[in-house]
Amino acid sequence: MNDFSRRTLVKGAGALGLAAGGGLFEFAQAFAQESQWKPEAGATLNVLRWKRFVQAEDDAFMKMVDAFSKAMNVKVNVSNESFDDIQPKASVAANTGQGPDLVWGLFSLPQLFPEKCIKVNDVADYLGKKYGGWLPSPAAYGKYKDDWIAIPVAVNGGLPNYRISAMEKAGFKTFPTDYPSFLELCKALKKNGTPAGMAMGHATGDANGWIHTFLWGHGAYLTDQNDKIIINSPETAKALEYFKALYATFIEGTPSWNDSSNNKAFLAGELYMTNNGISIYVAAKTAGKAGDAKQQAIADDMNHANYPVGPVGKPSDLQLAFPILAFNYSKFPNACKAFMAFMMEADNYNPWLEAAQGYLSQTLNAYASNPVWTADPKTTPFRDASARTLPASGIGPLSPKVAAAIAEFVVVDMVARYCTGQEDLKTTMRTAERQAQRIYR
């Protein structure tokens, strides 16, 4: 595929007698002329994506979809589902061979059914060469064995969100960078009536994210590099004791929280530190601009930080990846590939990244210089989310088994059972071990 720009498009559009339209549509016309992926005649794409948390991101995405549809003469239908509903619906489609052509899902969704995905080596190679290469961990979500089976579109950085005044009242001038200090902050927040709280229920993004991050930070993992199950270990025991100490400082109800629970509590002024994307801040700012003084005050008083580093001595983050896959039952594989490539082109991706306002971080190196990361200092910590994260497998290889363990909340449930007193330390580790053995048999 040849490189192209708006200038080359204007020439081509004139030759074809096309109306120029806006900048994005102009680019889409250029893409249609030069793309190596020519949609099948009469192609219609049904796209299932995660439900947006930042309205401006969704608006920018739909403008992108509209430009692609008009320039490529492909009808595109987009449906949205909550984080927790994407995987079940995608699994049904994979098993029945009916449903959406493309699924823009979470974590290692493509690895649940790699044989059902269209191979997209050509799309990944084209984008990687053009935009400075793929970041390693996000790229892992696109691959299975030697093939690309999905395109890692973005990473949602889930980081500590906190109220500045509450942190300072708790005796901290800056956000803690190690686990003991982080625990002390949470204790002080509770004492002051400004509690912390992080999801411990079946919250696909929030709970999996922070719990794996702190588990790995203690050097504990579900499996090792060779897929040997090692969750029942001294390192896990130490991590669980730390989780229980943290849980004792949390606001009530966190074991039943889903991915939107902490957003609501924070914006209601009931929660003063949590892990989340930047969507809480964006929502507060948006409401503030509309005249809500309480929400504006929250936006002014909050900030974000990277996770503290645990005993392993280096970042151990698990961030939420958003790969897009195409099912091999689709009648329009070329249209699917064209759509994937179009999404990631600079004329689309840069404005979309800015519209997300820090909620999404890049998976291709070229986009790390997007101005969204420096326009507002409160956004900057999210810039490196995709570079700091490990894949969902931790130190092991991604596979359908890893995807199943994430989808079944094996690690999250282990932590929740111990923290809430449902099981003792040895029992909860053994339960998680048995669940993993069933998955990895």
241 domain-assigned: yes
> How confident is the model at residue 108, as a pLDDT?
86
Rounded to an integer, the average pLDDT of 228-254 is 98
| Rounded-to-10 torsion of CA 244, 250, 255, 258 | -140
80 domain-assigned: yes
Predicted TM-score (pTM) of this structure: 0.85
Contact 223, 394 (CB under 8 A): yes
Rounded to an integer, the average pLDDT of 245-263 is 96
Residues 377 and 265 in one domain: no
Residues 346 and 435 in one domain: no
Residues 151 and 166 in one domain: no
Q: Give the pLDDT band (50/70/90) at residue 12.
A: very low
29 domain-assigned: no
203 domain-assigned: yes
Residues 314 and 364 in one domain: no
Tell me which of 1-5, 10-14, 194-198, 228-232 is least confident: 10-14
Q: At what angle do helices 333-344 and 23-34 cross, to 10 degrees?
A: 130
pLDDT at 54 over 90: no
Amino acid at 338: A
> How confident is the model at residue 52, as a pLDDT?
86
> How confident is the model at residue 290, as a pLDDT?
97
Residue that is last in its domain, among 358, 387, 416: 387
pLDDT at 5 over 60: no
Residues 304 and 334 in one domain: no
Q: Exposure string (b/e) for 149-188, b if CB count within 10 Å is 16 or more?
A: bbbbbbbbbbbbbbbeebbeebebeebbeebeebbbbbbb
Residue span of the structural domain in which 433 resides? 159-318+408-440
Domain count, the chain: 2
25 domain-assigned: no
Q: Could you identify the residue written with the tokens 């890049």?
A: 362
Residues 299 and 231 in one domain: yes
pLDDT in tens, 63-77: 999 999 999 999 999
Rounded to an integer, the average pLDDT of 142-154 is 96
218 domain-assigned: yes
394 domain-assigned: no
Contact 87, 109 (CB under 8 A): yes
pLDDT at 11 over 80: no
Residues 183 and 258 in one domain: yes
pLDDT in tens, 291-316: 999 999 999 999 999 999 999 999 99
pLDDT at 22 over 70: no
pLDDT at 15 over 60: no
> How confident is the model at residue 6, as a pLDDT?
32
Strand pairing partners for 250? 196
Residues 283 and 337 in one domain: no
